[in-house]
Chain A
Amino acid sequence: MEIQAIHSILLERFGSEAVGDGPRAAIDPWIQVSPDSIVAVGRFLRDEPRLKFDHLNDLCGVDYFEPDAKKAPKFGHEPHVEVVYQLSSVSLKHRLKLKVSIPRWKDNVAGQLPSVPSVSSVWGIADWHEREAYDLMGIHFEGHPNLRRILCPEDWTGHALRKDYEFPLEYHGIRGR
């Protein structure tokens, strides 16, 4: 099914505040979803017989931020973090991309992680993907059953894929930088 048709179905069900006015044009068009409705939209996409997006291919975070103040004016994006959901259907063989936009820090307080509801109740693999997004991108997933670091050690500080991440000076006596 084409993305325009999928968006019409979602618009009818959830309204434009949740799923935007239309799909965003790109090489891989996507639907921008509001953070509060991502779980409901995800569950609908999975269960609706015309759509059946039962396979979550990928869930990752992208940090749109330019740490170098000299290059910041030409960056072209407002500083924010996106959570990108790549979906597909093994039975109907179509694909979809969803994006949720959240601020880089909660209430703009540096260090307080922004939050997004967890979709681990919709797709089982979201559990591990969200743990990795929390670990490396510093996104807090509300309602996640087991939000701990997955790739970095449990006592690591900082979220490595953030553009303003600074490698720790030392870790258990080993010099960092």
Chain B
Amino acid sequence: MALQIEDPRVVEFDVQTDEMLVNMGPQHPSTHGVLRLLLRTDGEIVHECTPHIGYLHRCAEKIGENLSPPQYIPYTDRMDYLAAMNMNLGFALTIEKLIGMEVPEKAVHLRVFIAELGRVASHLVAMGTYGLDLGTFSPFLYAFREREIILEFFEEICGARLTYSYLTVGGATHDLPEEIMIPDGLASLTGRPPGEMMPFFDCVELFLKWIEKRISEYHTLLTRNAIFIKRTAGMGILTPEMAVSYGCTGPVLRGSGVDYDLRRDGEAIYTRMYQGYSFEIPVAPFAKVAPCEVVLGDNWCRFYVRMMEVVQAIRLVRQSMPKYKAATGSHREAFKMNTKLPKDEVYLETEAPRGQMGFYVVGNGDAAPLRVRAKSSCFCNLSITDLICRGVPLADIPAIVGSLDIVMGEIDR
């Protein structure tokens, strides 16, 4: 007992003699990256949960001060690497707002197509890894099977599967291909001959028809599964006031019942991308479909918002294809690498799959900005961990943290 009173490290954490400090260390399969959760527990009940971050800090903001915007796009890829297309889009739009550039119509529809397909891919990872955190392996494999097809599409478009650097200042680096070889996964799932050459949009339409049917299967696997409901409903409850005060955005905010989505409520340069598209914004509570144990703002609501967003994203992709085909112009407005940025500053937030990703760029007359600030949606979403993890058993911590859907690359930058 004398050791615990005199040891300053223990005193600092105010650990009572019957409490334990459990470290859910940076290397952990369930913490979605290098996140360290320091838990002060009384047996199995968690009294305090302190996240420690910074294990993936790569000084992206400092690097931005030395690079011109097109050179910085690959760094935005590596922030939220599971939704890299949306990161690229956010930064590209911010620079376009700064220099007052308007992209051609074709590029606008191309960007909607890419961003929403990226949203589907990102939410599939969220669904799969959330199931994995709770102990079920099959949804993970199904999710990655569908995601594999999307990644093969992206590979045909820009050559990369994870860090695309595709959407850039002025539009996109390459135009969409005319004809591609059908992805192997899609061929075997839909019974087409492997190696068949198909027009690109027909291939995407085939994939969308496939995944639409499968969404209802995933609902039976996870959403309506009694064990899943027991482990997620009524847990990790986040009130709307707390969500707004703590800067939570995206599915975390909409899962708490706050109807706010930047594709509808954001700045003009971003909302005009989605003008002419019809889509809904899923917001909790889901009165008619939610099981009776579900409470507004719990894990289940956040998860269900993501599932519904996949359905809406598929709708948007479907609408964007004919608009792209009918649009005139080029896929890219030229932007010279050494273009001097104006002596002005802008801040722009876009609706990334995990929340509102903001970029703040201060230009000072050079090609490289004076300051690049990346405001991460997951950084704000993670800040509520302590508040919603109090009083729960240790085994529920991965369930709660997993429902926030965090990516450490974005938090630490």
Contact = CB atoms under 8 A, between A and B. Distances in A.
A75 B364 CA distance: 8
A151 B358 contact: no
B247 interface: yes
Contacts of A150: 53-54
Nearest to B240: A90
B318 interface: no
B309 interface: no
B412 A27 contact: no
B172 to A, nearest CB: 24
27 contacts: A26-B345, A27-B98, A27-B344, A27-B345, A27-B346, A28-B345, A55-B244, A58-B358, A58-B360, A58-B375, A60-B360, A62-B371, A64-B370, A76-B365, A77-B364, A84-B360, A86-B375, A90-B253, A90-B260, A124-B383, A125-B245, A149-B54, A150-B53, A151-B54, A160-B59, A161-B61, A161-B62
A174 B412 CA distance: 21
A175 interface: no
B343 A127 contact: no
Interface string B231-252: 0000000000010111100000
Contacts of B392: none
B53 A151 contact: yes
Interface in A129-158: 129, 132, 136, 149-153
A152 B370 contact: no
A76 B246 CA distance: 36
Interface residue tally on A, bucketed by range: 35 or more
B61 A57 contact: no
A136 B244 CA distance: 25
B48 interface: no
B349 interface: yes
A90 B257 CA distance: 12
Interface of A: 26-28, 54-58, 60, 62-64, 75-77, 84, 86, 90, 93, 95, 97, 123-125, 127-129, 132, 136, 149-153, 160-161
Contacts of B346: 27-28
Given A27-B97, A27-B345, A160 B62 contact: yes
A145 to B, nearest CB: 12
B224 interface: no
Contacts of A124: 242, 245-247, 383-384
Given A128-B380, A151-B412, 9 more contacts: A26-B345, A54-B245, A58-B358, A76-B365, A86-B360, A93-B260, A124-B242, A125-B383, A161-B61
Which of A62, A97, A125 lies at the interface centre, i.e. has the most chain B CB atoms within 10 A of its CB? A125
A156 B253 CA distance: 34
Contact of B349 (A57, A77, A84, A90): A57
Contacts of A125: 245-247, 380, 383
A57 B246 CA distance: 9
B356 interface: yes
B265 interface: yes
A90 B253 CA distance: 10
Contacts of B375: 57-58, 60, 86
A58 B364 contact: no
Contacts of A149: 54
Contacts of B100: 27
B362 interface: yes
Contacts of B379: 128, 132
Contacts of B347: 28, 57-58, 84, 86, 97
B373 A128 contact: no
